Amino acid sequence: MFKYGFLLFLFGKCMSQAAENIHFFNTLSRKKEKFIPIEKGKVKMYTCGPTVYDYAHIGNFRSFLFEDILRRWLEYRGFQVTQVMNLTDVDDRTIAASKKEGIPLKEHTGKYVKAFFEDLDTLHVQRASIYPRATEHIPEMVALIKKLMEKGYGYVGEDGSIYYKIAKFKNYGQLSKFKVAELKVGARVKVDEYDKEQAQDFALWKAWDEGDGDVFWETEIGKGRPGWHIECSAMSMKYLGETLDIHTGGVDNMFPHHENEIAQSEAATGKKFVNYWMHCEHLMVEGKRMGKRFGNYYTVQDLTKKLKHDPRAVRYLLISTHYRQQFNFTFAGLEAAKNVVDRLVNFMYRLLDADGKDCGEETQLLMMQVNKSFGEAMDDDLNIGIALAALFDFVRDINNLIDVGKLSRRKANEVYAMMLGFDKVLGVIGDVRKEEKLPKEAEELIRRREEARKAKDWKTADQIRLQLQAMGITIQDTPQGIKWRIEKHQTNPTKNDSHM
């Protein structure tokens, strides 16, 4: 008893120290840095959300899932996280797409906002604290632009649009690492997206032209609409203050979007805008760039609804590679991910069934070990590959203990609770106890099978067993009666052959 108490004491100590030892790779310094929040125990995090002109694709969702894991990990370590994720519902792309469809902007974006939230739920992404929409924050953007004009960073171009003078902001290029001296002074770009080679004074406010149709606001700075970059500066600072702890996004947002956010926000406040910039790498599909014209473009709904893949497998696959590595999505990988998820779910069921002799000390050591390895890996810039490897070693070792009847009911419960704790971060298993409810039809089949067995009609009993199996329900006859289990995620070997 004394020994256990000591081990538990150590275990608690590991947990509390870990929050102090998180390191993230900061794009700004290109180095891993110790994470120190502005306010102890709290994290202010901004995430560039979707541009709601179309369904988000799995590349977008790779980023959203990285951000979900980041937030879940910070919460696991005891931080109180305020995460703001904007919805870009007015910009060049949304206007072009709604015009093409011939429907009003709000109606067009509304459809994709709804789809976005459905996709978040499908992939078990926890909701951010707030999802501000650009169209609902025009006054904040106008105020910020006015401030930039007063300070000499904003000027009106001949087309009536307001531009940001990048030559005046001496740190321009600090995030994407290039020098302003290489830029053409006074050259301007009005579109939201452009390359580093085309870095120029960019539009803060776009004066109305015919292309915008009925999308405009009458404001103190004229009739028009905001540029994409000012939207994120205005909304992030409104909800999180002038300096944020963490700002995340996909690597393709680094330039010009994030570079411009820094220029706008820091010029306006004179303060550092973001302490830690974190960027998620690209996703490829079957080794190639994903694109509609390459025929390898997938949305979440394509995978889960059309192709009937298990959403948990999609989630697992997209989170299982380190966020700073390019990730190659393949259907073979998706099948493998499905097997991993099934293994984890089955492990949870085995834990519920375990009723062996007590082998507390050995289990306790394994628990401490996995807690330490998983935690250290995640603290090290979310090194999920190593964290998952530690978890699988643990599952294997505990499975071995169950095999030889050495996991007691009490210890199995502790392991179960610990697995639920890890799953708070991973979000791929769920609490299988809550899913244990037989459909009416299956209850009836089980009753009929019992009757058949009593009548020694083994043939019927066997047929019913197969029928249940086809429904994903496994039954087992034990001295205590019938035990059943719902295999939630059936593998269908023929389903994906064409993609492998």
Q: Which is nearer to Zn ion, 48 or 263 (CB)?
A: 48
User: Is position 280 an interface residue for Zn ion (rule: CB under 5 A)?
Assistant: no
- The size of the interface with Zn ion (CB under 5 A), counted in residues, is 2
Within residues 216-235, the interface with Zn ion by CB under 5 A covers 232
Query: How far apart, in whole angstroms, are the C-alpha atoms of residue 143 and residue 220?
Result: 9
Query: How far apart, in whole angstroms, are the C-alpha atoms of residue 480 and residue 179?
Result: 75
Q: Does residue 48 contact residue 253 with C-beta atoms inside 8 Å?
A: yes
**Exposed, middle or buried by CB within 10 Å (0-12, 13-18, 19+), for 61?**
buried
162-164 and 327-329 strand pairing: unpaired
Stretch 454-483: interaction string toward Zn ion, x if CB under 5 A? ------------------------------
H runs (alpha helix) in 380-439: 384-403, 409-426
481-486 and 473-478 strand pairing: antiparallel
Query: How far apart, in whole angstroms, are the C-alpha atoms of residue 212 and residue 208?
Result: 6
Q: Does residue 113 contact residue 52 with C-beta atoms inside 8 Å?
A: yes
Q: Which is nearer to Zn ion, 43 or 48 (CB)?
A: 48
- Provide the 3-class DSSP secondary structure of residue 65: helix
Q: Which is nearer to Zn ion, 252 or 393 (CB)?
A: 252
Measured at the alpha carbon of residue 109, what is the angle toward residues 105 and 110, in degrees to the nearest 5? 110
| Least distance between Zn ion and beta carbon 237 (Å) | 12
Extract the tokens encoding 314: 């999609």
Q: Which is nearer to Zn ion, 229 or 350 (CB)?
A: 229
| Least distance between Zn ion and beta carbon 417 (Å) | 38
Stretch 179-208: interaction string toward Zn ion, x if CB under 5 A? ------------------------------
Helix %, strand %, coil % for the chain, to 5?
A: 50, 15, 30
| Least distance between Zn ion and beta carbon 257 (Å) | 5
| Least distance between Zn ion and beta carbon 232 (Å) | 3
| Least distance between Zn ion and beta carbon 499 (Å) | 33
| Least distance between Zn ion and beta carbon 483 (Å) | 52
| Least distance between Zn ion and beta carbon 147 (Å) | 19
Q: Which is nearer to Zn ion, 219 or 264 (CB)?
A: 264
Within residues 44-63, the interface with Zn ion by CB under 5 A covers 48
By the criterion CB under 5 A, which residues form the site for Zn ion? 48, 232
